Amino acid sequence: MITVIIPALNEERTIGKVVQFVKKMQSVDEIIVVDDKSIDDTVQVAKDAGASVITSTKVGKGASMRDGFLVSKNEILVFLDGDIENYPPETIEKLTAPVMKDEADLVKATFEREAGRVTELVAKPLLSLLFTQINHFAQPLAA
């Protein structure tokens, strides 16, 4: 089975929708929202939607991800953002299938976006020159 970990900070508007999306997945038997000390109703909305909620031990998304990992019960973990309202229906399946088939140890989603001038004119060309071995990677979805 799969654990979905959702780091969240002041996501009362969207966290319930994300948890409800995850609850539709039969392969998921654990949903953990890791609250980063929100000052809105994120915690209550997540609980009302059916997630287990813990409070992060430190401020920051990385710490929240770690805290969720430490309390999770499954070997396969999916990290989702708590502020995305329109995940495609096959998101969790696409993220976990390569791991379940032993084709990958880690899968990271990507997205398309318009990049700014500094990114397009400086950062991407410089990274392409200095780190040619990573040219095939796409823009990651969140951090």
pLDDT at 143: 43
Stretches where the chain sits below pLDDT 70 are 111-124, 134-143
Indicate yes or no: pTM above 0.95.
Answer: no
Contact at 8 Å (CB) between 114 and 44? no
Are 66 and 40 a contacting pair, CB within 8 Å?
A: no
Match domain 2-100 to its CATH number in 3.40.640.10, 3.30.460.10, 3.30.1330.30, 3.90.550.10.
3.90.550.10
Q: What pLDDT, on a 0 to 100 scale, did the predictor assign at position 138? A: 63
Which pLDDT value is given to residue 113? 56
- pLDDT confidence of residue 141: 47
Per domain, the residue ranges of the chain are 2-100, 111-143
In contact, 41 and 15? CB cutoff 8 Å: no
* DSSP-H helix ranges across the chain: 15-23, 42-49, 61-71, 91-100, 117-118, 124-130
pLDDT digits (tens, 9 = 90+) for 64-96: 999 999 999 999 999 999 999 889 999 999 999
